[in-house]
Amino acid sequence: MLKRSIYASGVLIGFVTLVLNIFVFRWIDPILRLLQVPAEVYPLMRDYLWVVFWGIGFTFLYNFYACLLRAIGNSLQPLWFLAVAVVLNVALDLIFILLFGWGVEGAAWATVIAQAVSGVGLCIYTLYRYPDLRICRKNTKLQWTTVKEIATYSSLTCAQQSVMNFGILMVQGLVNSFGTAVMAAFAAAVKIDSFAYMPVQDFGNAFSTFIAQNFGGGHRERIRKGSRVAFLATTFFCALISLLVFVFARPLMLIFVPAYETEIISIGVEYLRIEGVFYCGIGYLFLFYGFYRAVRRPGMSVVLTIISLGTRVALAYALSVIPSVGVLGIWWSIPIGWFLADIIGWWYYRKSYAYLPGW
């Protein structure tokens, strides 16, 4: 049954990957126009994306086998392969850009090659290290019940991710309308932002696996204790990261932006000092996402995503048109969306899971 599920998942995700590739190559220009990309950087961005989109298949391959390994309790090897990919990406960036002079296309090819190495490498490792996970001919029959179950859970998760990224694209388009300085500051600050709260996103993934295993086994006490530890750890980590980002906002921006670009740095610092103070909001949200996926309520994760992103987009567009607020309205809308979704997530938990007191 496990092997049939692995095969069915691979077929479904492979099909979605193919459809995505066709879609993005066909609609790349409308997508960029939707994002209101300034004319001066349009050709560069198009060239970059045209190459990067070739890496979607390798991204699927890595994520597929990384999730498979995590599901059986091996979260270390995906990390090692990811670390190799990161180092390789940086090295190839330096070679392709500085040595060969390929510019943004060189950066894109570096990313695709690194993705390929991590995806193919992790695939080979998994099939070699865990022969029980290898698929043979008798496992390649798609059973409708298996496909339906996987599709049901995955479609809701896909909807959640799609809503999340669509909301981010809408905010990105609004940011782009404020000019290249704000666009560049936002691009650099978001990199710092994503790196800062990436660990709590992984807390959420690990928390989801932990809850799912214990929920299936009926170990309520372990769920209660694990939930308490997860929220305390997230609070502590987010508070520490918030402090560091607030204090070192300018040095962090200087990693991505030359010192003479004072306007870009100033805008980026402003963003980080608003956003960075509230990392607990996104940390808790990742835990709620993981919890509701684990207890077979993925629809609630979608609802929380819609609330978070919907609030962010609506407030960003409403506040940014006020002359005295401007781009600050976009920055403030993000943590407000986080905390509103947290409140709804907590309320639903207390309403539906009263048998797990003590969070």
Residue 153 lies in a domain: no
Residue 355 confidence class, pLDDT cut points 50, 70, 90: low
pLDDT of residue 359: 41
By the 8 A CB rule, do 308 and 337 touch? yes
Q: Which residues contact 323 (CB under 8 A, 6 or more apart)?
A: none
- Residue-wise pLDDT for 120-153, tens only, equals 999 999 999 988 888 888 777 777 777 777 777 7
Question: What is each CA distance from 351 to 40, 95, 318, 345, 348, in whole angstroms?
Answer: 52, 56, 32, 10, 5
Say yes or no: 284 and 347 in one domain.
yes
- Residue-wise pLDDT for 7-52, tens only, equals 888 888 888 889 888 988 888 898 888 777 878 888 888 889 899 9
Residue 149 lies in a domain: no
Say yes or no: 175 and 321 in one domain.
yes
Say yes or no: 130 and 177 in one domain.
no
By the 8 A CB rule, do 205 and 290 touch? yes
Say yes or no: 21 and 98 in one domain.
yes
Say yes or no: 180 and 295 in one domain.
yes
By the 8 A CB rule, do 355 and 348 touch? no
pLDDT of residue 354: 56
Say yes or no: 170 and 138 in one domain.
no
- Residue-wise pLDDT for 331-341, tens only, equals 999 899 999 99
Residue 322 lies in a domain: yes
Say yes or no: 136 and 229 in one domain.
no
- Residue-wise pLDDT for 94-107, tens only, equals 999 988 888 889 99
pLDDT of residue 357: 44
Residue 356 confidence class, pLDDT cut points 50, 70, 90: low
Say yes or no: 305 and 341 in one domain.
yes
Residue type, 224: R
pLDDT of residue 154: 75
Say yes or no: 42 and 137 in one domain.
yes
The pLDDT mean for the chain works out to: 86
pTM for this model (two decimals): 0.69
Say yes or no: 126 and 176 in one domain.
no
Last residue of a domain, one of 88, 113, 142: 142
Which residue range is the domain that position 16 belongs to? 1-142
Query: How far is residue 99's CA from residue 97's CA, in Å, rounded to a whole number?
Result: 6
Residue 324 lies in a domain: yes
pLDDT for residue 358 is more than 60: no
Residue 344 lies in a domain: yes
- Residue-wise pLDDT for 70-85, tens only, equals 888 787 888 899 899 9
Q: What is the 3-state secondary structure (H, E, C) of 232-286?
A: HHHHHHHHHHHHHHHHCHHHHHHHHCCCCCHHHHHHHHHHHHHHHHHHHHHHHHH
Domain count, the chain: 2
Residue 150 lies in a domain: no
Say yes or no: 210 and 282 in one domain.
yes
Residue 308 lies in a domain: yes
Residue 151 lies in a domain: no
Last residue of a domain, one of 142, 174, 204: 142
Say yes or no: 184 and 318 in one domain.
yes
